Amino acid sequence: MHRRLVTALVVVLGLAFAPEALATIEGPCEATVAGEDVVARDTFARSDPISVPETGGVPVTITANRPLDNLKLEIEFAGIPYEVRDEPTTVNSTTGVVPVDDYAKYGIGLYKIVATSTGQGFTCVATALVDVQGNPLETAAGAIGIAMVIVGGLGVFSFALRGGRPGLATLLAMFLGVILAAGIGLLLQQYGLFYPTQIASILVLVGGAALGFLAGVFGSRGYVSG
C-alpha cells in the first residue's frame, strides 16, 4: 500500500510541472508585453518568462487591422485574475501599462499578464509570463513562504519521527504537508523558477498532503496509547 502511495506522490509532483495550456494570442491581433512579441510564448509552470524590473510599469500593446473599442489588463496568479486596468479606446493599436511597482513590494517572481481587447465582431486575448526582478527576501510573499516552509517542514518531520495518535496525527501531518508544499511553491514562484498554474497549484498541494499522510502513517506505527 505504501509503495503505491509513494508512486502516486511521484506522479503528482511530476504532473505539477506539466503545462496547463498553450497561451500566445487569440484573435486577429498582434501583441507585445514589455516590447516582446507574445507569439510562440507559453504559460507553462516552467516556461521562459519576460524579465521586467520591479520599478515602473510593464507596457502591453495590442494592434489590429480594425479599430479596438476596449482594453482590459489582468494579472493572474494560480488561476486567479486581478484586474488592473479596463478602459475604452477607438484606435487600431492601444497600449496599457501594468503598474508593477504597485505590487512588487508584496511579491515578485513569476506572474501571468492577460490582455483582452475587443472590436466590432472580434475579441483578442494575449497572455505572457513575466518575471518581476528583485529580492524575494525583501517582500511579504517571500517572508510568508519561508515561514510556511519552516513550520510545515518541522511539523512533517516531527510527525514522521515521533508520530501520534493514529488518525489525528495523520490529519495534522497532512495539513502541515500542505503548508510545506505551499511554502515551497511560493518561494519557487518568488525566485522565478515555477509559475503556479491552476493545475500545478492543485497538484502541488495534493503532493504536500500525500507527503504529510506518509509521515503521519509511518510515525503513528510507534505510537503507544497512555
- Identify the top-confidence range among 13-27, 30-44, 142-156: 142-156
User: Which residues are within 8 A (CB) of 155 and not within 5 positions of it... i.e. 6 or more apart?
Assistant: 172, 173, 176, 179, 180
Most confident of 21-30, 129-138, 163-172: 129-138
Q: Quote the pLDDT of residue 163.
A: 64
Short-list 78, 96, 194, 61, CA closest to 136: 194
Q: How many domains does the chain have?
A: 2
Residue 223 has a pLDDT of 54
Instruction: Give pLDDT tens digits for 2-23.
Output: 454 445 444 444 544 444 444 4
Q: Report the share of the chain in percent with pLDDT over 90.
A: 62
Domain edge (last residue) among 132, 159, 174: 132
Q: How confident is the model at residue 56 (pLDDT cuts 50, 70, 90)?
A: confident
DSSP string of the chain? -HHHHHHHHHHHHHHTTS-S---SEESSEEEEETTEE-TT----TT--PEEE-SSS-EEEEEEESS-EEEEEEEEEETTEEEEEEEEE--SSEEEEEE-GGGTTTT--EEEEEEEEEEETTEEEEEEEEEEE-S-GGGSHHHHHHHHHHHHHHHHHHHHHHH--STTHHHHHHHHHHHHHHHHHHHHHHHTTS----HHHHHHHHHHHHHHHHHHHHHHHTT----
Regarding whether 46 and 11 lie in a shared domain, the answer is: no
Give me the pLDDT at residue 1, please: 45
Domain contains 73: yes
**64 pLDDT above the threshold of 60:** yes
Residue 147 lies in a domain: yes
Lowest mean pLDDT among 12-16, 69-73, 94-98, 152-156: 12-16
Residues 116 and 59 in one domain: yes
Q: With 80 as the cut, is the pLDDT of residue 226 above it? A: no
Looking at 41-50, 65-74, 75-84, 213-222, which range is the least confident one? 213-222
Closest CA to 68 of 44, 46, 94: 94
C-alpha grid cell for residue 184? 515551497
Confidence grade of residue 220 (pLDDT, cut at 50, 70, 90): low
Alpha carbons within 13 angstroms on the beta-carbon side of residue 213 total 14
Q: Choose the final residue of a domain: 87, 114, 132.
A: 132
pLDDT given for residue 104 in this prediction: 86
Instruction: Count Cα atoms within 13 angstroms, Cβ side, for 209.
Output: 8
User: Do residue 47 and residue 122 come from a single domain?
Assistant: yes
- What pLDDT does residue 145 have? 97
Residues 49 and 36 placed together within one structural domain of the fold: yes
Q: Would the pLDDT of 150 be above 80?
A: yes
Q: Are residues 146 and 214 both part of a single domain?
A: yes
Measured CA to CA, the distance from residue 56 to residue 140 in angstroms comes to 19
Please state, in angstroms and rounded to a whole number, the distance separating the CA atoms of residues 171 and 209: 9
Last residue of a domain, one of 93, 111, 132: 132
Greater pLDDT, 3 or 68 = 68
- Domain hosting 162: range is 2-18+136-220
Mean pLDDT, residues 163-187:
88
Q: Is residue 183 within 8 Å of residue 155, measured between CB atoms? A: no
Convert 65-130 into a string of H (helix), E (strand) and C (coil). Answer: CCCEEEEEEEEEECCEEEEEEEEECCCCEEEEEECHHHCCCCCCEEEEEEEEEEECCEEEEEEEEE
Q: Is residue 226 part of a domain?
A: no
Domain assignment of residue 225, yes or no = no
43 lies in the same domain as 105: yes
pLDDT average, residue stretch 199-211: 94
Instruction: Provide the CATH number for the domain around residue 51.
Output: 2.70.50.50
pLDDT at 19: 45
